[in-house]
Amino acid sequence: MVGGESFLGLWSDNWSNRRLRDALIFKDKKISYGELDAATLQVGSYLSDRFELDRSTTVAIMAKSCEAAVILNIALVRAGCTLVPVNPSLSLDELAHIVTTAKPKLFISFNAEISRYLKKRSDIEVADGEWLYQDAKKPSMCGVAAYGRSTESTTLIAFTSGTTAAPKGVPISNSSISWNLRTLAALWELNSEDSLYLSLPLFHIHGLVVGLYGALSVGASVYVEDRYSPAVLEQLLRSRDVNTFFGVPTMYHRLLVSGKADALSYARLVVSGSAPLSQVLFEDIFETSGKAVVERYGMTETLIISSNPYRGEKRRGSVGIPLPETNVSFTDEEEILISGPGVLSGYLAEDGQIEAAVSSSTPFATGDLGHMVDGYLYIDGRKKDLIITGGHNVHPFEVEEAISRISNVLEVAVVGKPSLEWGEEVTAFVVADGSLDEETVRRFVGGRLSPFKVPKSVVFVESLPKNVIGKLDRRTLKAQCFEGS
């Protein structure tokens, strides 16, 4: 159903019918759907006039979870601009890569240092986000109808996380977003009675598209938090102010160790994505709260690919069943291939053109390894992370799952260490609560997996490197630990 109604149409329809319902809730302010509608039309009109923006204009915005940034984001999308959400924690070199690749006409910043840096460039206009928002809200500014956009236009340019290579710009069409949001709303039974706790970053597909845009598309309320708090989530669930939670495994782990995971029993729907949810964590959450986490699978390049059902069997360790119209296949090496409405047409090149990534007859190669059982998809790890030791293939995730079953293991990462004898040696990095020794870990794994999968060394660390959405950064881990090996 690509090419169907724009998700902006879903916004307009639901907002006009629920003008008094809370749309966005921040720590100190509530914004109704009527207020959101009026504010985003006025701000969008102001920005369009002030900066001469139109449907072909690309605008970058620092993705903060504050009122000004969220309203500016929605206003620009409604005005028909192509939005580039930018991670606020990027280094100046990383920022330069994104700006050079996406070539935005305007950059809306919420950081003085970044503003000063970008103002040295002659190819971009820079504006302070907070000041811009306050100016756009002045009563003298008159709102007009949003420009809107065609279903095939580019709504977002999202950059990949860059944990294995330099971030790539992915143009995402209005039609792809519309299809994904409609499909997920039907699958998860999202509706206007739902209230979502959202502390995921808004420069990533999970938080921005699935979370914020998705909730607004069904007329739900969104509690926007700038940082995740197990205590706040618990309070909102117990008070019935929220009934839906989208998170990453790190968030569920923190909720569990905080002793507040039983509050999930008050939720209607809890979803995990962006990184693998271990079977142990799935089981612990279920035993504590009686709530089975709905794990799903997606990428920047494909949007959401599969999900466990809201009603029906939620299989531990599986990322669920492929979405309708989405085809999953595998190479001889077990790499997952995807074709369907959400798959990108290409990556953004530095000359501003789109370099083809897939054709109509060629599915997208995800770089993930996996398999299917009874229609349920399982992820076995990244192709680049596969460890080849003594001629044997070892999927790190399988070894990590085994080690995570040791009672006092909090986190674990398994990588391949360069070895003249073996090619690579299976090496485990473990964060443990209390005493644990290498031999105990090796003996535990040896009782469950083949000998060649048993780590040749176990390193105990205080923490593991992750990116801002909680995904393990294996590249950084290898660089930190194997430099000069």
CATH number of the domain residue 397 falls in: 3.30.300.30
* pLDDT tens-place string over residues 44-54: 999 999 999 98
Q: What is the pLDDT of residues 158-183, one digit of tens each?
A: 998 755 556 889 999 999 999 999 99
Could you tell me which residue, 422 or 232, shows the higher pLDDT?
Answer: 232
- Start-end of H helices in 262-408: 279-289, 396-403
Give the model confidence (pLDDT) of 190-201 as tens digits. 999 999 999 999
Q: Give the strands of the sheet with 321-322, arranged side by side.
A: 29-32, 22-26, 221-224, 195-198, 244-247, 269-272, 294-299, 303-307, 321-322
Which pLDDT score is estimated for 38? 94
Residues 207-232, mean pLDDT to the nearest whole number: 96
| Structural domain boundaries, residue 461 | 386-482
pTM metric for this prediction: 0.85
What element of type H or E holds 29? strand 29-32
Query: Is residue 464 situated within a structural domain?
Result: yes
**Does residue 437 fall inside a structural domain?**
yes
* pLDDT 10s digits, 305-360: 999 999 999 999 999 999 999 999 999 989 999 999 989 888 887 766 676 666 55
> CB-based contacts of 458: which residues, under 8 Å, 6+ apart?
427, 428, 429, 430, 438, 441, 442
The answer to whether 368 and 319 are in contact (CB under 8 A) is no
pLDDT over threshold 50, residue 4: no
Higher pLDDT, 433 or 195: 195
Assigned domain for 210 exists: no
Structure tokens at 380: 């076995």
CA-based torsion, 346, 349, 354, 355: positive or negative: negative
Q: Is residue 301 part of a domain?
A: no
What's residue 346's pLDDT? 84
Question: Is residue 457 in some structural domain?
Answer: yes
Domain count, the chain: 1
122 located within any domain: no
Write out the H or E segment, with its range, that includes residue 304: strand 303-307
Alpha carbon 185 to chain centroid, angstroms = 17
Q: Would 469 be classed as within a structural domain? A: yes
Mean model confidence pLDDT for the chain: 89
Q: Where do the H-state alpha helices sit in 352-446?
A: 396-403, 438-446
Residue 393 lies in a domain: yes
Across residues 106-121, what is the average pLDDT?
93
Q: Is the pLDDT of residue 263 over 70?
A: yes
pLDDT at 171: 93
Q: List pLDDT tens digits, range 354-407.
A: 766 665 568 899 999 999 999 999 998 888 888 888 778 888 888 998 999 998
The mean pLDDT value for 445-466 works out to 91
Q: Name every residue whose Cβ is closer than 8 Å to that of residue 110 and which is 6 or more positions away in sequence.
A: 62, 64, 66, 68, 69, 88, 128, 129, 130
Count the Cβ atoms, other than its own, within 10 Å of residue 332. 5
Examine the pLDDT at 104 and tell me if it is beyond 60: yes
Query: Over the stretch 116-172, which tens digit does the pLDDT of each residue have?
Result: 999 988 889 999 999 999 999 887 655 554 555 555 688 999 998 755 556 889 999
Question: By the 8 A CB rule, do 150 and 175 touch?
Answer: no
